[in-house]
Structure 1
Amino acid sequence: MMVVLRSLVFTLVFYAGSAVAVLLALPMALAGQPVLIAHARRWALFHRWCARALLGITTRVEGTLPTGPALVAVKHESMFETLEMLLLLNQPAVVLKRELADIPFWGRVARMHGVIVVDRAAGATAMRQMLKAAKAAVARGRPILIFPEGTRVPHGDRPPLRAGFAGLYKTLGLPVVPVACDSGLLCPRRRFLKRPGIITFRVGETIPPGLERKQAEAMVHEAINALNPPAA
């Protein structure tokens, strides 16, 4: 019963606050990207407070995250890490699938924030646009945040990496910092109920640029699944 009550209060408080944050985002964006980035960080701080105070969920980071440009590849099991990584990294530029970037109003604000849109169904033009946006973010000293499996998956699932990661890895020439995450244990995707506990982010060994594609992908895939059961 307590889990149900906590989850209900979280949903009401967080999504009501998020609606206000989204409405304020456009005027913030008109003041410039730095102001919008700061606004997004405040929204992420609000989410962290809601998770801790209302759900009893805290975060543990094992290892050291980069402070400058790098390709940060994170396991994706819930919405939790999408917002928490905005706090754990320094103004990251997030790789976002086109379906989300095309949401009316919110998508426009996200683009102004500097998201990097990936369209896996499109051709070479879309890929060039993605790489151009990524290079611009790197030039401003921002790390690139990518969820290389492409979508949220249940804890324990190990799907292959999706298109987009390899292109960024090859073109940007940045080291890759893989991050495992077990948020799906407490905040399962598409589930209303969320349980109290600690969500762990485990930073893996940095993968240098210039490796052959299959080798780099295999190393990233293994590292971001370090908190998942071994594959059968």
Structure 2
Amino acid sequence: MIQWLRSLAFIAQMYVAMLIFSILYFPWAVVSPAGAHAACHAYSRWVFWTLRWMTGLKTEVRGTPPTGEVMIAAKHQSFLDIMLIYNAVPRGKFIMKRELMFAPLLGQYALRIGSVPVNRGKRGAAIAKMLADVKSGKQEGGQLIIYPQGTRVAPGVSKPYKVGTAALYEQLGQPCVPVATNVGVFWPRHGILRKPGLAVVEFLPEIAPGLPRDDFMARLEAEVEGASDRLMAEAGFHAHR
């Protein structure tokens, strides 16, 4: 019960802090994407700090986060892995559902950092526009983050990897950096409780561009799932596949 109450207090202040950071950085974010990135990085660091002393959940980033133009294909278990991955790279941006554009604060900041809203079935057109904008100088390059399973997946649950990730890999012509995580063991998809422990995201060796689609998808899934299972086992959770 004490841990649940500590978790509730953490969540409450997390959303209050989101509002405060959004307001404080708003003038800078309006005139420059750099301001939006600064706001999101500062807010992420605040969340990690308060998470540690309020709930006992520590965070760690392993591997080498990329700094150049790459696609990041990540395991997604909760909101925490979004912040950990984003905070580890200089200019992260996301493939996101178009509906999130209309989320208060979150949607507007996501657009300012260069995230790409997509309608179901129209991802190709959205990515083509993003590539054209980067080439013309209308938008900065950066690290494009995508979740191959398309949604948050609880530890131990199997969900297929969507072929859209391979299409994006081919269209971008950039290296792909797989990312594994165990954060869902401590910060679940739903509910209040945040468990003490060590939540990790791990950047794995990059996959060079140019692989055939089937080979790329097989390698991506094997590497992300294998590393995520290892990190979850380290946290005391053993997936049965």
Normalising by structure 1, we get a TM-score of 0.89
How many residue pairs align between the two structures? 229
Residue range with higher mean Cα deviation, 85-94 or 199-208: 199-208
Task: Tell me by how many angstroms 1:183 deviates.
Answer: 0.5
1:2 aligns with 2:21: no
Change (3 A) 1:26 1:162: farther
Change (3 A) 1:203 1:105: closer
Structure 2 counterpart SS, 1:117:
strand
Give the alignment partner of residue 130 of structure 1, picking from 127, 144, 162. Answer: 127
Structure 2 counterpart SS, 1:61:
strand
Q: Distance in 2 between matches of 1:97 and 1:163?
A: 17
Task: Tell me by how many angstroms 1:122 deviates.
Answer: 3.3
Residue 131 of structure 1 contacts residue 168 of structure 1 at CA under 8 Å; is this kept in 2?
no
Task: Tell me by how many angstroms 1:104 deviates.
Answer: 4.8
Residue range with higher mean Cα deviation, 168-177 or 203-212: 203-212
Q: Distance in 2 between matches of 1:212 and 1:106?
A: 36
Deviations 1:117-153 (A, max 9, x none): 232x234xx5212332256458734111111211111
Counterpart in the other structure of 2:35: 35
Task: Tell me by how many angstroms 1:32 deviates.
Answer: 1.2
Change (3 A) 1:231 1:218: farther
1:206 aligns with 2:206: yes
Residue 186 of structure 1 contacts residue 195 of structure 1 at CA under 8 Å; is this kept in 2?
yes
Structure 1 counterpart SS, 2:9:
helix
Superposed, which structure 2 residues align to 1:191-202 within 5 Å? 191-202=191-202
Q: Distance in 1 between matches of 2:74 and 2:133?
A: 21
Change (3 A) 1:186 1:111: same
Change (3 A) 1:104 1:6: closer
Residue 163 of structure 2 contacts residue 217 of structure 2 at CA under 8 Å; is this kept in 1?
no
Q: Distance in 2 between matches of 1:63 and 1:80?
A: 18
Change (3 A) 1:89 1:107: same
Task: Tell me by how many angstroms 1:230 deviates.
Answer: 6.1
Task: Tell me by how many angstroms 1:38 deviates.
Answer: 0.9
Q: Distance in 2 between matches of 1:185 and 1:16?
A: 25
Identity of paired residues, percent? 29
Normalising by structure 2, we get a TM-score of 0.86
Change (3 A) 1:188 1:135: farther
Counterpart in the other structure of 1:149: 149
Residue range with higher mean Cα deviation, 137-146 or 165-174: 137-146
Unaligned runs of 5+ in 2: 230-237
Task: Tell me by how many angstroms 1:24 deviates.
Answer: 4.1
Counterpart in the other structure of 2:58: 58
Task: Tell me by how many angstroms 1:116 deviates.
Answer: 1.5
